[in-house]
Amino acid sequence: LFILLGSLAAFFLASAAAVALRFDIAERRQSEAKFRGLLESAPDAMLIIDQTGRIALINAQAEKVFGYEREEILGQRVEMLMPKRFRGQHAEHRAGYVQAPLTRPMGSSLELYGLRKDGMEFPVQISLSPLETGGHTLVSSAIRDTTDQKSRELALRQLSGRLLQSQDEERRRIAREFHDSVGQYLAAAKMELHSLQTRATWTDRGDEQQFAECSQLVGQAMGEVRTLSYLLYPPLLDDVGLPSAASEFIEGFAKRSGIQTNFETSPNFGRVRRDVELSLFRILQESLTNVHRHSGSATAHVRLVRNDGLVTLEVSDSGRGMPAASVEAFQNDLAASLGVGLRGMRERITQLGGTLHVGSNGQGTTVNATLPCSEELPRGAPSGS
């Protein structure tokens, strides 16, 4: 009986196991189909990489983006999809990732590139996530071709560069017009008034006083025109170069604002390219305007030096510092929450291949602009090769 019961139990257990196995296989097939469906419907190129760094699965989008047929890359090393210069480093990073897998963007501080079958490189954004399967960790990576995004960014930068340039030209034109027309009419009027005053014999004391007031108002208007046209475009900049123009501007700023501002520069600074001079002058103007408007500082310090092919302009104050939100917006390039001032400074510097740093805390703010610079070409020399 025991033998009979034993074999019956064995029979039941075996058939129960067979049923469970059938369910198991059906369930696995179903979830595999779901997984495939998800993989194929993803908008990004997807690669699943095994522990040895070989490509285990890809979706149709990945075939399209990299220009390969599926069979050509399945089982190959993932490094075949990146330019040679990244391969050695990538293999190391991949090993590190398997040790501590997390869902994260790849190489967030690096410009990443993919390599197509035809040898073309394209910029990519990659995000990685671990996939646990039966004791193995696979890595799924979603790859987005950012060529369009990059060219839109470039077009936007070029557009804002052109806007700044045409704004400079417009300012230069208005400054000249203002100075040469209104300024000249006022100067002529002032001379006429002066000559009239010396010739006139006043019968009414009130008339004489009124005349003197008119003459004084014309004098004030002349002063305003001069300051305004100077602020729009410093006439000295083209003629005598940045250090002298900066020095004169700083003197005027200190007088107008009451902020004690000192200026430090290299004695043999010389001339640099005209666009570099103008950009740095605009950054100086905007930084000092910011010191006056926002910092509450009683002093400011400007340093303009030239070393090893680099020009550095630094404007610092000892005021209340920028609000944390503005510092964060600047560091993360969140243009929308910044004023035109800091954004414009960054655009100007980026256009010329330089860098802009802003450091700020409760003790003050420092704006540092550094640009590569070559010697100014003699005026009239061709700028090409």
Ligand X SMILES: Nc1ncnc2c1ncn2[C@@H]1O[C@H](COP(=O)(O)OP(=O)(O)OP(=O)(O)O)[C@@H](O)[C@H]1O
Tokens of 57: 């699965």
3-class secondary structure, 368: strand
Residue 142 or 288 having the CB closest to ligand X: 288
DSSP H helices in 109-234:
147-177, 183-199, 205-232
Select the binding partner of residue 61 from Mg ion, ligand X, none (C-beta < 5 to 8 A, by kind).
Answer: none
Strand pairing category for 355-361 and 310-317: unpaired
Nearer to ligand X, 309 or 323 (CB): 323
Residue 338 binds which entry of ligand X, Mg ion, none, CB below 5-8 Å type-dependent: ligand X
At closest approach, how far in Å is the CB of 341 from Mg ion? 3
Do 359 and 369 touch, CB atoms closer than 8 A?
no
Residue closest to Mg ion, measured at CB: 341
Shortest distance, CB of residue 258 to Mg ion, whole angstroms?
Answer: 19
Residue 98 interaction partner, one of Mg ion, ligand X, none, beta carbon < 5-8 Å per kind: none
49 DSSP β-pair partners:
55, 139
CB of 46 to ligand X, least distance (A): 41
CB contact at 8 A, 147 and 125: no
Name the site residues for Mg ion (rule: CB under 5 A).
Answer: 290, 339, 341
What is the number of alpha carbons within 13 Å of residue 117 lying toward its C-beta? Answer: 11
Look-up of token digits 């009683």? 298
Minimum CB separation of residue 289 from Mg ion in Å reads 6
Nearer to ligand X, 284 or 322 (CB): 322
Nearer to ligand X, 145 or 317 (CB): 317
H-helix or E-strand containing 39? helix 2-41
**Shortest distance in whole angstroms from residue 337 CB to ligand X:** 9
- Cα atoms found within 13 Å of the Cα of residue 328, Cβ hemisphere only: 3
Nearer to ligand X, 139 or 291 (CB): 291
Residues lying near ligand X in the complex (CB under 6 A) are found at 290-291, 293-295, 317, 319-323, 326, 338-342, 365
